[in-house]
Amino acid sequence: MFWRKLFLLLAALCYAATGQLVEAVPQDAFHSKYHLVQAVVLSRHNIRAPLASPEKLGKITTHEWHDFGVNGGELTAHGAQLEKKMGAYCRLYFQKEGLFSAGYQPEARDILFYANAFQRTIATAKGFAAGMFPQEVPVKYKGHVNDADPVFLPGQGGHKAPFDENLTAELAALGGDSALTQSVSAGVKTAAALLDNPEINTGEFKVTVQNGVHFGGSIRPLMTACDALTLQYYELGDSRASFGHELSFNEWRDIAAVKDLGIHVYRHLPTLSRALARPVLSIFQEEMNLQRRKFTFLCGHDTNIASVMGALEVKQAALPETIEQEAPIGCKLVAEEWQNKEGERFVALKLVYPSTSQLQGKTPIDADNPPQAVPLHLQNIHANPDGLMTMQDFQQRLTDAITSDAELMKN
């Protein structure tokens, strides 16, 4: 402990003197065996304004909603600042791990930033890149701004009849509409109370399977409201977000679960997960096979995080310090490639995300206050004693997720 504190003190003094962080990969047992050679990141955008219009939200409660200062669905100024901080932290992390040098300036072949063409995803990628690299880095996107890119939003059409049959059976195994509705009963009760609207219908969540999965039911207005409430909580950070009601952290977690009902389904219907994740996973695999690439950043949505985790069969893991338990806003699904001295390739998979306190600006994002990083593991793939899976196992899982159900596609 003494030597660790001494090292940190000396590093801080060197930083103060030179303005640069001292490069030093920790020489522990892990780093004596492996070195980091590549990272591929799938990110969800950061804090946005609600998707629902002020007029629609005004019909749910008479309380005045927060003005986010941007158009519906766009990244807020606060969200952009947070993403820049996440990029700056990740730069320090990758420098510490030896992927980048302190003065590293990437060449075009070294990195890729690719986002869905929505304003919030492009702006998130730009914010992260601005924090990570001193010079401007181009962000690739297809089409015009606010045109959906089928890589990130592929849709569910174009499948044969067995596709819907599989979805119906998987939905039944998940418990169906009534079980899904019951799973968020606590959040429904809390949200309905703070909205002060006795007329709001807090009925049932309905999942319809016909040419894919469609969400509806009388609970939908409340799901819309819970999305806006969660965003207000991140932007305001106090009881103003809940219209003067004092809520516990767990009660906010219950509210977030209501708006995440659909995301929960995306992850836990395997046939649907694979169908939605296939285009992103194909790029993911291509990038990991590019030996010249150091860093890849793909920016999409919670649906992308949830479907990819479902398609890869990621084991369920509790997410500490966040009210969102499915795909926290601003989260990054990170696949790191590590090599040992013999050149054998391994993968570490983790979910990195700012805590709720960091999203609210109450806690900084820096080396002393890093974002949360939860190790992820895949069903039926055993990690080695160092917590790594072989690249061969990971690539096979990617291939299986991409090619499974291919027979369900229409010719």
What 3-state DSSP class applies to 298? strand
The answer to whether 236 and 230 are in contact (CB under 8 A) is no
Neighbours of 209 (CB within 10 A): 19
Domain ranges of the chain: 1-28, 29-58+74-156+269-408, 161-268
What 3-state DSSP class applies to 354? coil
Kindly state the tokens that stand for 78.
């606060």
Q: Please determine whether the domains at 29-58+74-156+269-408 and 161-268 fall in the same fold group of CATH.
A: yes
Whole-angstrom distance, CA of residue 268 vs CA of residue 271: 9
Architecture of domain 161-268: 3-Layer(aba) Sandwich (3.40)
The answer to whether 373 and 355 are in contact (CB under 8 A) is no
Ordered per-residue pLDDT tens for the chain, 411 residues = 433 333 344 344 333 333 333 334 455 899 999 999 999 999 999 999 999 999 999 999 999 999 999 999 999 999 999 999 999 999 999 999 999 998 899 988 999 999 999 999 999 999 999 999 988 999 999 999 999 999 999 988 788 889 999 999 999 999 999 999 999 999 999 999 999 987 776 789 999 998 889 999 999 999 999 999 999 999 999 999 999 999 999 999 999 999 999 999 999 999 999 999 999 999 999 999 988 899 999 999 999 999 999 999 999 999 999 999 999 999 999 999 999 999 999 999 999 999 999 999 999 999 999 999 999 999 999 999 999 999 999 999 999 999 998 788 775
Helices (H), 1-71: 2-18, 54-58
The answer to whether 148 and 303 are in contact (CB under 8 A) is no
CATH topology of domain 29-58+74-156+269-408: Rossmann fold (3.40.50)
The answer to whether 79 and 365 are in contact (CB under 8 A) is no
**Nearby residues of 34 by Cβ (< 8 Å), 6 or more positions away:** 338, 339, 340, 346, 386, 388
Residue of 177, 118, 175 whose CA lies nearest to 151? 118
